[in-house]
Amino acid sequence: MEKRQLKKSVVYSLYAISFMLLVGGIVLLGYATRRASDPQYEYVSKGILDYEENIKVVNTGDIISRPYTDANVKIVKNYYDYKAEAESQENSLIFYENTYMQSSGVSYSSGDEFDIVSILNGKVKEVKEDTTLGNIITIDHDNGITSVYQSVKDITVNVGDEVTAGQIIAKSSTSNISTELENHLYFELIINGVCVNPENYYDKSINEI
């Protein structure tokens, strides 16, 4: 019986197909290997600034902080508020030389001496001694904000100094106008020339004022 033989053209075609399958397999294997070893990245179409949930970077020097850091410090005399209840208003009066005066600031005390710190970045406007009010430090800040620290001692700043928020500028002390409070800080916050209740402004940004 005579054996059939494939035509040369068919044989060559089979060789070509086999070679292409072999090369294709090698290429796919290499791609799969690279995918397995490369880090996986997730591509997004939005830029970083397009997301509403971005974390805002806040300059802490623009946040009004308390003029002290001691957690034991408490209010011993309130700011006088015309709209407050009678009991609060009574605790906001300063009695000196047989005269009652409305407190335009807040008195803080812990019973012990404590550090006084700047409430914001700013520039020292005034440092002076006063026989009635005790030593006084006045600091100018941005947005028409001025802070006044009365009844202090061991002052560490001078007129013209640039200070940062939280920087220690003095220690609490006494004054002749409020001898019953003993060691304390009398603090005033002035915004655009008007004394305000500082308790309403702590932890706020100067841009909110």
CA–CA distance, 122 with 141 (Å, rounded to integer): 5
**Residues in CB range of 60: below 8 A, 6 or more apart:** 165, 166
CB 192 within 8 Å of CB 144: yes
Residue 124's CB is within 10 A of a number of other CB atoms, namely 19
Q: What percent of the chain has pLDDT over 70?
A: 71
Whole-number pLDDT of residue 9:
55
pTM over 0.75: no
More confident of the two residues 149 and 19: 149
Digit-coded pLDDT (tens) for 21-32: 555 556 555 555
**Domains, the chain, ordered by start:** 60-208 (2.70.70.10)
